[in-house]
Amino acid sequence: MSHSANDAPLEVNCPQCGNTVIWGPESTYRPFCSKRCQLIDFGAWAEESHRIAGESAMDEADLETLLAQADKDAPLS
């Protein structure tokens, strides 16, 4: 029985160290190659070294200003 290219397991590179990882149930920490690489990446997110681009979240002062402006703009009933 011959194996086609589709039978080959998917391989990805560990986003932390670049080692090859087989994408399957035997790779517990996928897409990372190890618990160590997973924890290094998690730590970078926790200390905000990694972040998703976009606008900053509003702080409480911004929210109060927005609510006060909404109260001014609301029609009188």
Q: Is 41 annotated as a binding residue?
A: no
Q: Is 17 annotated as a binding residue?
A: yes
Amino acid (one-letter) located at 37: C
Q: Is 37 annotated as a binding residue?
A: yes
By three-state DSSP, how is residue 20 classified?
strand
The 10 Å CB-count burial string (b at 16+, else e) for 36-60 is: ebbeebeeeeeeeeeeeeeeeeeee
Q: Is 38 annotated as a binding residue?
A: no
Residue numbers belonging to the annotated binding site for Zn(2+): 14, 17, 33, 37
As annotated, the binding site includes 14, 17, 33, 37
